[in-house]
Amino acid sequence: MSAILDEQVVDSAAIASASAKRKSLWALAIRNPGVIIGGVILLAMVVIAVLAPFLGTIDPTRIDPAARNKKPGTEITHRLDDGTSLKRVAIMGTDSLGRDVYSRVVYGTRVSLIIGVAVAIIAVAAGLVVGLISGYIRWLDGIIMRIMDGLMAIPGILLAIALVSIWRAGLVTVIFAIVVPDVPRVVRLVRSVVLTVREEPYVEGAISVGTPTWTLMFRHILPNTVAPLIVQGTFIAAAAIIAEAILSFLGIGIPPEIPSWGNIMAEGRTLFRVFPHNILYPGIFLALTVLAINIMGDGLRDTLDPKMSKKV
Amino acid sequence: MTASASPSPSPVLEVRNLTVSLPTGADRTNAVEKVSFTVNRGEIVCLVGESGSGKSVIAFTVMGLLAKALKATSGEILLEGENVLAADEARLRELRCTRMSMIFQEPMTALNPVMTCGEQIDEVLETHTKLDAGQRKVKILSILERVKLPDPERIYASYPHQLSGGQRQRIMIAMALVLDPVLLIADEPTTALDVTTQAEILKLIAELQESQGTGVLFITHDFGVVAEIAHRVAVLRWGELVEMGPTEQILSRPQQGYTRMLISSVPSIHPQHRGTRKDGITVLRTEKLGKIYTGHGLFQKARVVKAATDVDLDIRRGETLGIVGESGSGKSTVARCIARLIDPSEGKVFLGDTEIATMPAGKLRPHRRRVQIVFQDPYRSMNPRITVGDFIIEGPMNFGLKREEALARARKLMETVRLDPNALDRYPHQFSGGQRQRICIARALAMEPELLIADEAVSALDVSVQKQVLELLDEIRQRLNLAVLFITHDLRVAAQICDYVAVMSRGRVVEYGPAEQIFGSPRDDYTKALFAAAPGRHWEFGKFATA
- pLDDT value of residue B9: 61
Residues of B in contact with A12 (CB under 8 A): 419-420, 422-423
Beta pairing class for B232-237 and B240-246: antiparallel
Where is average pLDDT lowest: A78-92, B178-192, B203-217, B282-296? A78-92
| DSSP state at residue A221 | I
Contact criterion met (CB below 8 Å) for B67 and A312: yes
3-state secondary structure of B207: helix
Put simply, the answer to whether B419 touches A312 (Cβ < 8 Å) is no
B468-487 residues touching A, CB cutoff 8 A: 475, 479
Separation of alpha carbons B343 and B334, rounded Å: 10
In the predicted model, is pLDDT for residue A20 greater than 70?
no
What's the pLDDT band for A6 if we cut at 50, 70, 90? very low
What's the pLDDT band for A23 if we cut at 50, 70, 90? low
What's the pLDDT band for B297 if we cut at 50, 70, 90? low
- Report which residue type is found at B88: D
In the predicted model, is pLDDT for residue A25 greater than 70?
no
Determine what percent of chain A is predicted with pLDDT higher than 90. Answer: 29
Q: Does A200 touch chain B (CB under 8 A)?
A: yes
Nearby residues of B222 by Cβ (< 8 Å), 6 or more positions away: B191, B535, B536
Contact criterion met (CB below 8 Å) for B487 and B374: no
Q: Does A24 touch chain B (CB under 8 A)?
A: no
Put simply, the answer to whether A312 touches B383 (Cβ < 8 Å) is no
**CB environment B56-72: b (16+ within 10 A), e (fewer):** bbbbbbbbbebeeebeb
Put simply, the answer to whether A210 touches B375 (Cβ < 8 Å) is no
Put simply, the answer to whether B369 touches A4 (Cβ < 8 Å) is no
Measured on CA atoms in the order B260, B466, B462, B229, is the torsion positive or negative?
Answer: positive
Separation of alpha carbons B417 and A11, rounded Å: 10
pLDDT tens figures, B153-204: 898 998 988 888 888 888 988 888 888 889 999 998 888 788 888 888 888 8
**CB environment A215-249: b (16+ within 10 A), e (fewer):** ebbebbbbebbebbbbbbbbbbbbbbbbbbbbbbb
- pLDDT value of residue B278: 61
How many angstroms away from the CA of A286 is the closest CA of chain B? 39
* Cα Rg, chain B, nearest whole Å: 25
Separation of alpha carbons B120 and B501, rounded Å: 43
Determine what percent of chain B is predicted with pLDDT higher than 70. Answer: 95
Put simply, the answer to whether B415 touches A207 (Cβ < 8 Å) is no
Q: Does B144 touch chain A (CB under 8 A)?
A: no
Interface size A-B, in CB pairs within 8 Å, comes to 104
Residues of A in contact with B427 (CB under 8 A): 21-22
Q: What angle do CA B436, B235, B18 make, to 5 degrees?
A: 105
pLDDT tens figures, B231-271: 999 999 988 899 999 998 888 888 888 998 888 888 888 88
- Report which residue type is found at B526: Y
Nearby residues of B506 by Cβ (< 8 Å), 6 or more positions away: B328, B329, B330
Put simply, the answer to whether B341 touches A10 (Cβ < 8 Å) is no
How many angstroms away from the CA of B284 is the closest CA of chain A? 16
Measured on CA atoms in the order B24, B27, B29, B32, is the torsion positive or negative?
Answer: negative
Contact criterion met (CB below 8 Å) for A233 and A128: no
Contact criterion met (CB below 8 Å) for B186 and B44: no
Q: What is the pTM of this model?
A: 0.79
Rounded to an integer, the average pLDDT of A91-112 is 88
Chain-centroid distance of CA B17 in Å reads 30
How many angstroms away from the CA of A306 is the closest CA of chain B? 13
Determine what percent of chain A is predicted with pLDDT higher than 70. Answer: 89
Q: Does B399 touch chain A (CB under 8 A)?
A: yes
Separation of alpha carbons B540 and B352, rounded Å: 39
pLDDT tens figures, B96-152: 888 899 988 877 788 888 999 999 999 989 888 888 889 999 999 998 988 888 888
- pLDDT value of residue B53: 86
Sheet of strand B346-351, all strands in order from the earlier edge strand to the far edge: B303-316, B282-295, B346-351, B354-355
Q: Does B343 touch chain A (CB under 8 A)?
A: no
Going by C-alpha positions, the residue among A39, A45, A58, A82 that lies closest to residue A285 is: A45
Pairwise pLDDT comparison (A156 vs B234), residue with the higher score: B234
Rounded to an integer, the average pLDDT of A158-173 is 84
Put simply, the answer to whether A4 touches B368 (Cβ < 8 Å) is no
Interface test with A, best of B394, B439, B474 (most A CBs within 10 A): B394
- Residue from the list B381, B415, B479 with its beta carbon closest to the beta carbon of A205: B381
- pLDDT value of residue A107: 92
How many angstroms away from the CA of B191 is the closest CA of chain A? 22
Q: Does A12 touch chain B (CB under 8 A)?
A: yes
Measured on CA atoms in the order B479, B484, B488, B491, is the torsion positive or negative?
Answer: positive
Going by C-alpha positions, the residue among B390, B382, B481 that lies closest to residue B438 is: B382
Separation of alpha carbons B458 and B487, rounded Å: 10
Separation of alpha carbons B547 and B544, rounded Å: 8
Residue of chain B whose Cα is closest to the Cα of A221: B383
Sheet of strand B11-21, all strands in order from the earlier edge strand to the far edge: B30-40, B11-21, B71-79, B82-83
Residue B37 CB neighbour total at 10 angstroms: 21
Q: Does B528 touch chain A (CB under 8 A)?
A: no
- pLDDT value of residue B6: 44
Nearby residues of B49 by Cβ (< 8 Å), 6 or more positions away: B55, B221, B235, B236, B237
Going by C-alpha positions, the residue among A255, A285, A249, A290 that lies closest to residue A172 is: A255
**Residue B160 is inside which H or E element, if any?**
none
Residues of B in contact with A223 (CB under 8 A): 385
Interface test with B, best of A208, A214, A220 (most B CBs within 10 A): A208
In the predicted model, is pLDDT for residue A18 greater than 70?
no
Residue B298 has, within 13 A of its CA and on its CB side, a CA count of 3
Rounded to an integer, the average pLDDT of B276-295 is 82
What's the pLDDT band for A24 if we cut at 50, 70, 90? low
Residues of A in contact with B376 (CB under 8 A): 201
In the predicted model, is pLDDT for residue B544 greater than 80?
no
Contact criterion met (CB below 8 Å) for B149 and B171: yes
- Tell me the CA distances in angstroms from B494 to A79, B213, B487, one per residue in order: 95, 37, 8
**Residue B289 is inside which H or E element, if any?**
strand B282-295
- Tell me the CA distances in angstroms from A27 to A35, A96, A304, one per residue in order: 11, 49, 11
Residues of B in contact with A20 (CB under 8 A): 429-430
Residue of chain B whose Cα is closest to the Cα of A311: B69
Put simply, the answer to whether A8 touches B418 (Cβ < 8 Å) is yes
Residues of B in contact with A15 (CB under 8 A): 419-420, 423, 426, 430-431, 435
pLDDT tens figures, B190-222: 887 888 888 888 888 888 888 888 899 999 988
How many angstroms away from the CA of B422 is the closest CA of chain A? 9
Put simply, the answer to whether A204 touches B373 (Cβ < 8 Å) is yes
SS (H, E, C) B235-250: EEECCEEEEEEEHHHH
In the predicted model, is pLDDT for residue B21 greater than 50?
yes
Put simply, the answer to whether A207 touches B341 (Cβ < 8 Å) is yes
- pLDDT value of residue A29: 72
What's the pLDDT band for A3 if we cut at 50, 70, 90? very low
Q: Does B21 touch chain A (CB under 8 A)?
A: no
**Residue A118 is inside which H or E element, if any?**
helix A101-136
- Residue from the list A8, A14, A209 with its beta carbon closest to the beta carbon of B368: A209
Q: Read out DSSP for B308-334? A: EEEEEEEEETT-EEEEE--TTSSHHHH
- Tell me the CA distances in angstroms from B543 to B159, B251, B374, B497, one per residue in order: 46, 9, 31, 19
Residues of B in contact with A312 (CB under 8 A): 23, 26, 67, 69
pLDDT tens figures, A273-286: 888 888 899 999 99
Q: Does B432 touch chain A (CB under 8 A)?
A: yes
- pLDDT value of residue B302: 67
How many angstroms away from the CA of B4 is the closest CA of chain A? 38
Q: Does A166 touch chain B (CB under 8 A)?
A: no
pLDDT tens figures, B416-473: 888 888 888 888 888 888 888 889 999 999 988 999 999 988 888 888 888 888 988 8
What's the pLDDT band for A306 if we cut at 50, 70, 90? low
In the predicted model, is pLDDT for residue A5 greater than 50?
no
Separation of alpha carbons B33 and B22, rounded Å: 11
Q: Does A16 touch chain B (CB under 8 A)?
A: yes
What's the pLDDT band for A223 if we cut at 50, 70, 90? confident
- Residue from the list A17, A21, A201 with its beta carbon closest to the beta carbon of B375: A201
Residue A228 has, within 13 A of its CA and on its CB side, a CA count of 20
Put simply, the answer to whether B415 touches A10 (Cβ < 8 Å) is yes
Contact criterion met (CB below 8 Å) for B445 and B436: no
What's the pLDDT band for B293 if we cut at 50, 70, 90? confident
Nearby residues of A184 by Cβ (< 8 Å), 6 or more positions away: A127, A148, A149, A151, A152
Q: Does B126 touch chain A (CB under 8 A)?
A: no
Interface test with A, best of B369, B418, B445, B456 (most A CBs within 10 A): B418
- pLDDT value of residue A11: 46
- Report which residue type is found at A299: G
Contact criterion met (CB below 8 Å) for B464 and B385: no
Q: Read out DSSP for A239-299? A: HHHHHHHHHHHTTSSS-TTS--HHHHHHHHSTTTTT-THHHHHHHHHHHHHHHHHHHHHHH
In the predicted model, is pLDDT for residue A151 greater than 60?
yes
Residues of A in contact with B339 (CB under 8 A): 208
In the predicted model, is pLDDT for residue B48 greater than 70?
yes
pLDDT tens figures, B75-98: 889 988 888 888 888 888 888 888
Residue B484 CB neighbour total at 10 angstroms: 25
In the predicted model, is pLDDT for residue B519 greater than 50?
yes
- pLDDT value of residue A285: 92
Q: State ipTM.
A: 0.76
Helix axes A156-166, A222-249, angle to 10 degrees: 70
